[in-house]
Amino acid sequence: MPLRWAIIGCGDIANKRVAPAIVEDPNSVMVAFFSNTPERAEEMCARFGAARAYSDLSALLADDEIDAVYIASPQQRHAEETVAVAEAGKHVLCEKPMAVTIEECRAMVDACAQSGVALAIAYYRRWYPKARAMKRLIDEGAIGTPVRARIRVGGRYDPAEDDWKHWRVTAPAGGGALMDVGSHRLDIVCYLLGEPARVAGLTGHIVMDYDVPDTETLICEMAIGAHLVCECQWNLPLGSDEMEIHGTEAALIATPFDGDTLILRTPAGDEPVALDAKPHNVHLPLIASFAARVSAGEPPEFDGTDGMQASRIIAAAIRSAASGVWEQA
């Protein structure tokens, strides 16, 4: 039986990627939308053929024809809404970053476990052909023992106060580029190299005058011993999206990570790695995997504990920036 979905939050990500993916996936059915602006929920229902529009969350949670909820609201709402959805007995696929604090992340995991429902975080880049190829090559020993990873991501971001995305640079968002775009890349490093161990971090308000940092840098020691350096900026004139994984025998150069090339760099030279094309909607493999597995009574391919790994690094970096010492992830 197809998984019957509702979406909480009717912003860009729901409109451009999530709802189209649910409509396209043969194991999914789009049932309802929730928005604090009733007209927006009704507009999304009309666009994607959903039966019901809600502006009362309790009414959505009482709807027995909804099996799973995609939470596409700002991250400061993720924990409260996930717990409420779980307590209503519905599965949860939540936007990234998982939540603002690690305590909220743990509350989300606990609530879903106690209610016996699935929880996953929407780190869709784990389904990139590039990410799968990197994982395969590392597991096969193509780069030897992994010893270092490097991430550099960001650009210039200074939304006007009347921009509807301005919430991203306000205090309730919990962080700057590290939480917003860096979280995706941190999640990929955890997918490739495993658990984080300890973190040293710096945050700074160097150029921008908004609430969140415009410069964030961290060093993370992974549990396997490899070192990760991550640089995130929102005050640079040019954008960057760099990722490299270095081992004792070779390196994987995945820059730009959202691009379509992957290089295996060896002492003998660079070898391009053949990759399948990304899907036209990068959310589709995420939705398809979640729906197929959960509707079959199986756990998601990556669960809430996996989704919490990037948040553990970010939370430890923020604590380290305040304490001036290494913090456990």
Q: Which residue has the tokens 């929407």?
A: 122
CATH of domain 125-279+310-328: 3.30.360.10
**Within a 13 Å sphere around the CA of 249, how many CA atoms are in the beta-carbon half?**
8
Both tokens of residue 31?
């049932």
Numbered ranges of CATH 3.40.50.720 in the chain: 3-123+282-302
pLDDT for residue 165: 86
Alpha-carbon distance of 292 to 276, in angstroms, equals 22
Both tokens of residue 264?
């295996």
DSSP H or E stretch at residue 47: helix 38-48
Q: For 140-233, where are the alpha helices, taking DSSP H only? A: 177, 183-193
Residue type at position 17: R
Contact by Cβ (8 Å): 246, 143: yes
3-state secondary structure of 83: helix
DSSP H or E stretch at residue 82: helix 78-87
pLDDT for residue 10: 96
pLDDT for residue 295: 96
**Within a 13 Å sphere around the CA of 57, how many CA atoms are in the beta-carbon half?**
18
CATH of domain 3-123+282-302: 3.40.50.720
- Residue 175: CB partners within 8 Å, gap ≥ 6? 97, 100, 203, 212, 213, 216, 314, 318
pLDDT per residue rounded down to tens, the chain (329 residues)? 899 999 999 999 999 999 999 999 999 999 999 999 999 999 999 999 999 999 999 999 999 999 999 999 999 999 999 999 999 999 999 999 999 999 999 999 999 999 999 999 999 999 999 999 999 999 999 999 999 999 999 999 999 999 988 989 998 888 899 999 999 999 999 999 999 999 999 999 999 999 999 999 999 999 999 999 999 999 999 999 999 999 999 999 999 999 999 999 999 999 999 999 999 999 999 999 999 999 999 999 999 999 999 999 999 999 999 999 999 99
pTM here is: 0.96
Both tokens of residue 145?
């023992």
Q: What is the chain's alpha carbon radius of gyration, rounded to the nearest angstrom? A: 20
Numbered ranges of CATH 3.30.360.10 in the chain: 125-279+310-328
Give φ, ψ of 201 to 5 degrees. Answer: -135, 155
Residue 224 CB neighbour total at 10 angstroms:
12
pLDDT for residue 206: 96
